[in-house]
Copies of this chain bind each other. A is one copy, B any other.
């Protein structure tokens, strides 16, 4: 059975209130068609786990603009005044996580680890209320694994089985999020026949990808 789906059909699978991981860094590597379709279908009450909320009108910023997001777990929202405004008005819950910690928490969630021990954030507000572990005289925060219902990722190429490779700084959180969600929907720039991405160039193995969206797909 083909994994290829239209953008509309893929987004129809996303329930209201879903916990989404969305790849990208300031919009680069955020799947553009999936974002636009989320807005078109008006999927509400979303929890979004992502590095940032980009800018108004850009990438995840479009979801913020449309008022679809209930909660954001991110490392940075400083470039999006709308996110900050909604947060201050208590219309949007924001959980700020150090960027490297966010990457590890997503990776841990996808790797069957309970979490990681990191020195980042010890003694700061980022460490408040968290367990700590002492090892060889150093204190580490216990940073728990995080998972999502659905991951929306972008890629440079997919083959029809779902093997993915990425492009430059658009890679960022995408391969980590592909590990950490129940349903993984990938939006590649191109789809190539199986066997046309050499094994060493594949970054995300096909077994992690459930749906590949393509602009002209029938379904």
- The residue that A115 contacts in the complex, of B135, B167, B171, with Cβ under 8 A, is B135
Residue among B113, B119, B133, B144 making CB contact with A131, cutoff 8 Å: B133
Beyond A131-B133, A133-B131, is A142–B167 a contact (Cβ under 8 Å)? no
Please provide the chain A residues from 166 to 214 with a CB less than 8 Å away from any CB of chain B in the complex: 166-168, 171, 199-201
Instruction: Give me 10 other A-B pairs in contact (C-beta within 8 A), A113-B140, A115-B140, A165-B200 excluded.
Output: A104-B111, A114-B117, A114-B119, A114-B133, A114-B135, A114-B138, A115-B117, A117-B142, A133-B133, A167-B200
Number of A positions contacting B (CB below 8 A): 27
The oligomer's copy count stands at 2
CB-CB nearest 3 A-B residue pairs: A114-B117, A114-B140, A115-B117
Interface residues, chain A, with chain B CB atoms under 8 Å away: 104, 108, 111-119, 131, 133, 135, 138, 140, 142, 144, 156, 165-168, 171, 199-201
